[in-house]
Every structure is written in C-alpha cells, then in structure tokens.
Amino acid sequence: MSLFKEFLKGIWEKNPVLVLSLGLCPTLATSGSMKNAVGMGLSVIAVLTFSNIIISLIKGFVPSKIRIPCYIIVIAFLVTVVDMLIAGFAPELSKAIGLFIKLIVVNCIILGRAEAFAAKNNPLRAALDGLGMGIGFLIAISIIATIREVLGANKWFGFTVVPGWDPIGIMILPAGALLTFGLVMAVRNVLAQRRAK
C-alpha cells in the first residue's frame, strides 16, 4: 500500500468512529460544542501519532507477552503530557473536557491502532496511520458537534448562526448526542452502499 493511501484510509474507508465504532465515549461526550470537539480531536491526533511512532520504535525491544501493559504505559505517558499542556495553556478547555482528556488512555482507537498497526509496521507508516486515523476521528467528531451545536444551541464555535431562532435544546443533551450519532452512522451506511454499487 502506498504511503498516501496509508494516511487516507483512516479518513473514510476505515474511519475509526463511523466505521469501526471505536472511541465512542469521547465522541459522544465532547461533541456538545465545536470548541470542545476540536480540542478533543487535536488531543487524540497528538496522542495517536506519537504513540504509534513510539510503539513502532520499541516493538523489537518489548516481549510480546507483556506488550499490552507496555503500550498502556506509553499511551498514559503521552496522555498525561497532553493533559498537562492543556491545563497550562488552555485552562478553560481543561475545565470543560479534562476528564475525557485523561480517558484517552482507555480510548480503544489508540490501543487498537497500536496493536493492529504500529506493532507490525515501521515508524513512518505508523506515523501516517496515526495521523490519518486521528484526522478521521477529528472529522467525525466535528460533523457530530456541528449538527449538535447548530441545532441545539443555534451556535457554531460560539457564534450565533441564525439570529433570533430558538434552538432545539435536546440536541445538546446526552439524548441528542446518541440520536445524532445514530443518524450520522445511518447516512454513512447509505453513502457506502451507493459507492459499492
């Protein structure tokens, strides 16, 4: 597979959220506003890319029987670094989504890519895979956050979209997140079926 394809597959064909249904909790929890969603997406990109690189580099050194704890340590290290940087330089974001930043540790996308891809490929390919998957995550979470924030709060990145329109409050609440996610997945299925024909 060419390097470019390696990067591209995470965005549509194997989109971690919409196709593989990994990393659901942060997608649902932080998609109430675009600001939070983009913060989350960028954090995942950073952690995923670097964890893929590091794990690909140490794969020869780690015995296969204890590889999972080793990967978890690497991921927890990166997550804590990102968490501290956000607390230092974007305190408001940290207050809003801090718990879910910490929970990137148990995000199945990261461990899944480490196990399925980084542990078998060279650092360059692993980095591209991580970057692509991360961007796929960012795109998916942004789509959901856009739908929820526009319909639920009549805003996008905090700016009013249609002045004077009363939004549908439930889209911001947990139920709205599940509803949006289910519908977006269904739409993606329709599109994929069309392409397959």
Partner 1 sequence: MKTILHYGLVLLIIAGVAGVGLSFVDNLTKGPIAEAQSKRLEEGQKLAFPSASSFGELKKLETDGKTIEYYEVFDEGKNVIGYELLYSVGGYQSRIKVLTGIEPDGKVVAIRVLEQAETPGLGAEVDALPSNKSLLCAFVSLFSPEPEKEESNIPWFQAQFSGKSPEDLIVVKTKDPKHITALSGATITSTAVTKAVKEPIELFLKAKAEGKL
Partner 2 sequence: MNLATAFLVIISVVLVNNFIFSRFLGYCPYIGVSTEKKSALGMGLAVIFVMTLASVVCWLVYHFFLYPSESNLFYKIFGNGQSVESFDLRYLMTLVFILVIAALVQFVEMVIQKIAPPLYAALGIYLPLITTNCAVLGVTILNIEGVTINGAQLGYGHPGSLLFGVLQGFGAGCGFLLALMLMAGIRERLALVEIPKPFRGMPIAFLTAALLAIAFMGFAGLVK
Q: Which residues bind partner 1 (CB under 8 A)?
A: 32-33, 35-36, 58, 61-63, 65-66, 69-70, 73-74, 76-77, 80-81, 84-85, 87-89, 91, 95-96, 149, 152-153, 155-163, 166-167, 169, 172-173
Can you name the residues that pair with 159 across neighbouring β-strands? 156
Q: How far apart are CA 113 and CA 145, in angstroms?
A: 24
Q: How far apart are CA 148 and CA 150, in angstroms?
A: 6
Tell me the closest approach of the beta carbon of residue 30 to partner 2, in angstroms. Answer: 9
Q: How far apart are CA 67 and CA 84, in angstroms?
A: 26
Task: Provide the pairing of β-strand 155-156 with 159-160.
Answer: antiparallel
Q: Which does 70 bind (CB under 5 to 8 A by kind): partner 2, partner 1, none?
A: partner 1
Q: How far apart are CA 28 and CA 36, in angstroms?
A: 11
Tell me the closest approach of the beta carbon of residue 150 to partner 1, in angstroms. Answer: 9
Q: Which does 62 bind (CB under 5 to 8 A by kind): partner 1, partner 2, none?
A: partner 1
Nearest to 137 by CA among 63, 47, 64, 62: 47
Residue nearer to partner 2 on the CB measure, 9 or 102: 102
Residue nearer to partner 1 on the CB measure, 110 or 128: 110
Residue nearer to partner 1 on the CB measure, 12 or 77: 77
Contact by Cβ (8 Å): 96, 60: no
Nearest to 144 by CA among 50, 24, 11: 24
Tell me the closest approach of the beta carbon of residue 6 to partner 2, in angstroms. Answer: 25
**Per-residue CA distances from 106 to 49, 72, 102, 119, 192 (Å):** 16, 8, 9, 18, 29
Residue nearer to partner 2 on the CB measure, 109 or 128: 109
Q: Which does 165 bind (CB under 5 to 8 A by kind): partner 2, partner 1, none?
A: none
Residue nearer to partner 2 on the CB measure, 58 or 161: 58
Contact by Cβ (8 Å): 172, 144: no
Q: In the complex, which residues of this chain contact partner 2 (CB under 8 A)?
A: 21-22, 24-25, 28-29, 68-69, 72-73, 76-77, 79-80, 83-84, 99, 102-103, 105-108, 111, 170, 173-179, 181-183, 185-187, 189-190, 193
